[in-house]
Amino acid sequence: MCEYYDEQTALVLDQCAPLKTKEIRVRSESPWFTSNQRALKAEKRKLEKKWKLSQSNEDFEALRNTKVNYRVQCKRAKASFYSDKVSSACKGDQKKLFRFVRNLVSGTAPPKFPIGDSDEDVANALNPFFNEKVDTIRSNIDITRRAADVAQFCSHVNATYSGNPLTRFNDVSNEDILKFINACPNKTGPCDPFPTSLLKACPEAFVPLISRIINTSISTGSFPNTWKHATVTPILKKEGLEVNPANYRPISNLPFVSKLLERIALEQFNMHCTNNDLHCPENSAYKVYHSTETLLLKVCSDIFAGMDSQKVTLLCLLDLSSAFDSIDHNIFFSLLLNCCFPMEFHKVAVLDLSAF
């Protein structure tokens, strides 16, 4: 069904909007430069040519007044544009605000890749490094000790958990699908058969089919293999670093509908964890209304509380290398089955999660 969806949507797009090659001249205009400023600029050039021919004081005064007005209008338009951009686009989101300011100050630097004659050479240079890095980290972990710790933790949680079971994920309606689609950014990757903006512009044509595919995936507990294919782009961890595989972070671009299905499953899973108090109260990552700011506030509050109580505060910071890539999925699902939802978490739901 997923292959059919990708093939047919790509076919319709090729028929309605076939790919064409066209040469265009790129002009680097500022985004705040509108038709008003363009008209003033044209008027300024016209008066400048007139003054060069006449050399009269009247034409010079008219040119000078137009130049002053042009500079004032450009300054106002620039200030208004960036003020509206910060207030409307960022909307209090600190991450978007910092990204916007960084791009405004330094611009977007072109990506730097390891030396290679083709994309295949670059992939062959980076892929072994990332795989060997994760394998090395896992091999240095004591599996016997790890299994014993997991068993001890499971036995403790089994005796204390009294929440409701999560037997399966629920089907979603077309209205819910549309809500998730509108909440997603307009990002389109190489694996998408058509632009995401087209999907948002014509929801009545795509939502019923997407809803059927997603509900079928939920009811069968399977994640389509086609949606697991991603385009991986290596990004430097920090500007100015050497072109070395150790300084790169792999960024995976999955199909839009694949991320949509993940969001739906994640929301239901998070809702179950919230309703049954399964979230760690000290965790600030990947939680609604939580961020690095809430974490810093918590740390500072604990430090000040310790100082008020005349206690010595020791802060220990731990940085885990490839933390997510090093997760053992077998142990993770064992924890879900035996701990977070001990003995009451239906195995079908575990299989549903393992499909992701």
pLDDT at residue 236 is higher than 60:
yes
Percent of the chain with pLDDT over 90: 11
318-329 confidence digits (pLDDT tens): 887 777 777 777
Between residues 337 and 225, which one has the greater pLDDT?
225
Better-predicted residue by pLDDT, 333 or 157: 333
Least confident of 150-154, 236-240, 340-344: 340-344
Nearest CA among 73, 47, 45 for reference residue 60: 47
DSSP run (H or E) holding 261: helix 256-275
Please answer whether residues 139 and 268 qualify as being in contact, where contact means their C-beta atoms are separated by less than 8 angstroms. Answer: no
Residue 224 has pLDDT above 90, yes or no: no
Token pair of 146, please?
């790890």
Q: What is the CA radius of gyration of the chain?
A: 28
| Residue 77 Cα distances to 33, 101, 184, 287, angstroms | 7, 18, 30, 38
pTM of the model as a whole: 0.67
Residue 348 has pLDDT above 70, yes or no: no
Half-sphere exposure of 72 (CA within 13 A, CB side): 6
Q: What is the pLDDT of residue 346?
A: 44
Q: What is the pLDDT of residue 19?
A: 80
The pLDDT, as a whole number, for residue 80 is 87
> Which of 150, 158, 162 minimizes the C-alpha distance to 277?
162
Interval 70-127: pLDDT, tens: 999 989 888 888 888 777 766 767 777 777 777 777 666 666 666 666 777 778 878 8
**For helices 203-220 and 2-16, angle between their N-to-C axes, nearest 10 degrees:** 170
How far CA 27 is from CA of 31, 71, 120, 277, 331, in Å, comes to 11, 21, 33, 55, 55
Q: How confident is the model at residue 1 (pLDDT cuts 50, 70, 90)?
A: confident
> What average pLDDT score do residues 231-247 get?
80
Per-residue pLDDT averaged across 285-312, rounded? Answer: 88
CA distance 42 to 30: 16
Name the nearest CA neighbour of 33 among 68, 97, 82, 67: 82
Q: Is residue 157 scored above 50 in pLDDT?
A: yes
Q: Indicate the range of 1-5, 77-81, 180-184, 190-194 predicted with least confidence.
A: 1-5
Largest CA-CA distance found in the chain, in angstroms, rounded: 96
Confidence at 193, pLDDT banded by 50, 70, 90: confident
Task: Catalogue the E-assigned strands of the chain.
Answer: 231-236, 248-253
Q: Looking at 139-153, 229-243, 277-291, 330-344, which range is the least confident one?
A: 330-344
**186 HSE (CA, 13 A, CB side):** 6
pLDDT value at 351 more than 60: no
Give CA torsion, residues 205, 209, 211, 214, to 10 deg: -140
Average of pLDDT values for 203-232? Answer: 86
Confidence of residue 143 (pLDDT cuts 50, 70, 90): low
Name the average pLDDT for the chain.
80
pLDDT score of 174: 92
